[in-house]
Amino acid sequence: MKKRSVCLMTLSCLLSNPLIAQSTGGWVVSVSGGTVWTKAGKTQTFFLAPEIENTYAAKKNLGSTGAGELFIGMEKVLGSVLRGQLGLSGAVTGAARLDGEIWDDADPQFSNHSYHYRINHQRVAVQGKLLLNNEAGIIPWISGGIGVSFNQAHEFSNKSLSCGVFPVPDFTDHKQTALALTFGAGLQKILNRHWQIGGGYTLADWGKSSLGRAEGQSMNSGLKLNHLIAQGILFNLTYIG
């Protein structure tokens, strides 16, 4: 009887330790939010029609926008101090703005127009995270993911920079499905056996995006990018069941 009481007391003490209590793993739900920065754009020269060739000279200004992410997955013990999480994540961001100038006849002496447009990004990805416990309850982690992105290029607009020059036709909105890659690193703080808070750095390749053809355009497509890199800081609230 006395041995049984000692065992029960020992088990109770172990479970009250947040590091030990989480060692068996379980469901993980994490909500993240923060700000990401982009410096996107690519100078492109192409024909819109047999007799019309323009250069779209990108400015690559640094811009910021909000971002949010939801992760749902499972946690598993991988070693004495290492744990892993694997699941699905969904992310959404505000609009990244891209700016530049249009050179008529692909000649910088005829920089007669300025332009801008926006790209909104959403993605669904398989995401994994490795976490390292320590006695202080501060958990370093790294993460990576691969998935599908949905990039909406929209609101292309241009205006004349010279008197007597009329704006050129605007490219149309277009949504592109592409490959998305993510990487992250940060720290978690254990609050109790179920709840954690944390934050970290995130790097994401949104993948390809493109605008549709302008009115009267007979050759090529609108402006397009093969990659759009976003870096940011996200803070999270995590529940472990």
What confidence tens digit (pLDDT) does each residue in 185-241 have?
999 999 988 999 999 999 999 999 999 999 988 999 999 999 999 999 999 999 998
- Number of domains making up the chain: 1
What is Dmax (Cα atoms) for the chain?
98
Position 231 in a domain: yes
pLDDT number for residue 40: 86
Position 7 in a domain: no
Query: Which is nearest to 36 in space by CA: 238, 229, 236?
Result: 229
Position 14 in a domain: no
What lies within 8 Å, CB to CB, of 171 at 6+ separation is 117, 156, 211, 212, 213, 214, 222, 223
- Which 3-state string (H, E, C) describes 161-227? CCCCCCCCCCCECEEEEEEEEEEEEEEEEECCCCEEEEEEEEEEECCCEECECCCCCCCCCCCEECC
Position 137 in a domain: yes
What confidence tens digit (pLDDT) does each residue in 109-136 have?
999 999 999 999 999 999 999 999 776 6
pLDDT at 25 > cutoff 70:
no
Position 106 in a domain: yes
Domain that holds residue 91: 23-240
Position 11 in a domain: no
Position 3 in a domain: no
Q: pTM value?
A: 0.83
Position 102 in a domain: yes
